[in-house]
Structure 1
Amino acid sequence: METLFWICLITGALYALFSLLFGDLLGDALGGIDLPGFDLFKPVILAAAVTLFGGAGIMLVRYSSFAPVAVVLLALLIAVVGGMFVFFVYVKPMENSEVSTSYSIQEMIGRIGEVTIPVPQVGYGEVMIKLTGGNTLHIAYSFDRCALAAGMRVVIVEEQEGTLGVSLLEDSI
């Protein structure tokens, strides 16, 4: 019986170590595949439960006088409770926090911005664009070849080599 517990403990610990060292590499190779099924059966939760089952079983065999059936049942109970703990304390909060604030400069086309550094007829100035994660500043040129003063609202018309072509927004006159 103790051999089974040791196998579970070692397997779970090795899986955790393997995931720590090679998890990102393996996830990139598989293209971020998300397997269907219940959230409680995610690999990290199953690995935690298997490891807890093995560790609890070893401790109960060595330091208690329970019958083998009671040891297995208690170890299973500890594994289930521990797996649920990992799910509610680690996995679920991490799923909700995976929000990216990144953007592509191509996504700026059609957005409204405000001139922060005047844009001359020919040459460059700067515009501020409000995004969900905050504000971003970009170098801009006048798409219509007309001077734009600081504080004017503009619309981004195009992007060329990281520079935004802007035009005066009609309602800001």
Structure 2
Amino acid sequence: MTLFGTPIETIYIILLIVAGSLTILYIFFGDILEGIGEFSSFLHPALILAFITLFSATGYVLEVLTSLSSLLIIVISIFTAFILDALLNLFVLIPMSSAEESLSYTEESLKGRVGKIIISIPENGFGEIIIPSKSGMISKPSASYENLAIAEGKQVLVLDVVKGVLYVVPYDDDLDTENTD
């Protein structure tokens, strides 16, 4: 079968190459198009590109390996691509969208956390603090919120974060045990 004077196999392979190339570009620059996916889950660019890729790959393979009519191959390809696309959406994209975005932290999320001074903070100076987290220890530069010296090994409470520096005050965990009695 020919379409616009071009063999259908050639059209399938061109569609496959174009959709594959666009998929690679989408992987690198997909954040620009994420707003489209928020509008409608079936207009998600990854699903559209996957449908075109699966349709063209199925059509090409069936054209080359079988003697079925081209119209039947188009129908089979559309059906196969739709089913595989729906499975991709159901088992990959939806779970990924609801998964935790990252194990990383933001500096704002460190406010209110308790850490330990590993390099003492001199008066009006800087030291270093470590804060335990689910993914390991976070080490950040720190300064005293009240411009007082804080010795190494002391527990501190993070009150503020300014330009990557955690501003801390000494933390007395005896206060927690008194409130629980």
TM-score, length of structure 2 as denominator length = 0.67
Q: Sequence identity, in percent?
A: 23
**Alpha carbon RMSD of aligned pairs, Å?**
3.4
State the partner residue of 2:157.
155
Q: Deviations over 1:62-110 (max 9, x none)?
A: 4333345533332233323432454466545654566234444344333
Q: Deviations over 1:92-146 (max 9, x none)?
A: 5654566234444344333221122233345333211233433211222333344
Q: 1:167 to 1:7 in 2, by over 3 A?
A: same
Trace 1:6-155 onto structure 2 (pairs within 5 A): 6-7=10-11, 9-21=13-25, 24-25=28-29, 27-28=31-32, 32-35=34-37, 36-38=39-41, 41-84=43-86, 86-87=88-89, 91-92=93-94, 94-95=96-97, 99-155=101-157
Decide whether the 8 Å contact of 1:8 with 1:51 is kept in 2. no
Determine the C-alpha separation between the residues in 2 that align with 1:157 and 1:5: 65
Structure 2 residue runs without a partner (length 5+): 176-181
Q: CA deviation at 1:14?
A: 1.0
Instruction: Report SS of the residue matched to 1:33.
Output: helix
Name which structure has the greater RCO, CA cutoff 8 Å, separation 6+: 1
TM-score, length of structure 1 as denominator length = 0.69
Decide whether the 8 Å contact of 1:155 with 1:167 is kept in 2. yes
Structure 1 residue runs without a partner (length 5+): none
Determine the C-alpha separation between the residues in 1 that align with 2:12 and 2:100: 31
Q: 1:129 to 1:72 in 2, by over 3 A?
A: same
